[in-house]
Amino acid sequence: EVQLVQSGAEVKKPGESLKISCKGYGYNFSTRWIGWVRQMPGKGLEWMGIIYPGDSDAKYSPSFRGHVTFSADKSTDTAYLQWNSLRSSDTATYYCARRGEYSNPDYWGQGTQVIVSS
Amino acid sequence: DIQMTQSPSSLSASVGDRVTITCRASQDIVSYLNWYQQKPGKAPRLLVYAASTLHAGVPSRFSGKRSGTDFTLTISSLQPEDVASYYCLQSYSLQPWTFGQGTKVEIK
């Protein structure tokens, strides 16, 4: 059974760093792109970008480029989303999703809630 | 970047009603259009991909259609469990993909 399991909720202060994870089960993790999606409280879904775990080729949406970093470790079937300096506006739930055969994100993680507050 | 304009932003309908949500792409995306359902506190769930193909396990009352750069999601007979927010997502080429603004569906 295909599953994406994300790391737990985080509470951080502005300026701190953070790395959250998304681990894949039940399929060949290295061969499917993993996307990241932000949902701010009470708001809609925003596409952040996508990474190919096989070679760590990453593509970022313009709104997120330079502020976040995607990475992947194919030896542990895990993708990561990282911030070097969090802002209060990063408070949101973050989802990872697998790109399906028809370019459709088909399986999703359960989400990781990130709260950034002083 | 490709923009997706989704309408309406919310709707209220009775159980058994036919409900239609629309997304318009700012340029040709062929059929790279997906529809998702999201209930509060839950991850999005894929309903329709490639504009009109129902994902496995999705009830047949959901359907998708493409007409040029206009895409529709139809619920043929609204059920109480369909109360949720619905989003379209264009996935044409690799980047950047974009969501519509979302439609909140409620029962009247």
Each residue of B47-105: pLDDT tens digit? 999 999 999 999 999 999 999 999 999 999 999 999 999 999 999 977 789 999 999 99
Inform me whether the C-beta atom of residue B2 falls under 8 Å from chain A C-beta atoms.
Answer: no
Contact B87, B35 (CB under 8 A): yes
Eight-class DSSP state of B80: G
pLDDT for the residue B94: 73
Those residues whose C-beta lies under 8 Å from the C-beta of residue B36, and which sit 6 or more positions away, are A45, B44, B45, B46, B47, B86, B87, B88, B89
CB contact under 8 A, A47 and B53: no
Those residues whose C-beta lies under 8 Å from the C-beta of residue A58, and which sit 6 or more positions away, are A49, A50, A51, A52, A69, A70, A71
Among A60, A104, A113, the strongest candidate for a mutation testing the B interface, having the largest count of B CBs within 10 A, is A104
- Option in B53, B94, B102 nearest A59 (CB): B94
**How far is the C-alpha of B29 from the C-alpha of B31, rounded, in Å?**
6
pLDDT for the residue B1: 87
Write the pLDDT tens digit of every residue in B26-44.
Answer: 999 999 999 999 999 999 9
Q: Give the mean pLDDT of A1-28.
A: 98
Q: How many CA atoms lie within 13 A of A2 on its CB side?
A: 13
Q: Give the mean pLDDT of A1-19.
A: 98
**How far is the C-alpha of A59 from the C-alpha of B95, rounded, in Å?**
7
Of all residues in chain A, what percent carry a pLDDT higher than 70? 100
In our burial notation (b when 16+ CB lie closer than 10 A, e otherwise), range B9-20 reads: eebeeeeeeebe
Position A24 confidence tier, pLDDT thresholds 50, 70, 90: very high
CB contact under 8 A, A45 and B1: no
pLDDT for the residue A103: 86
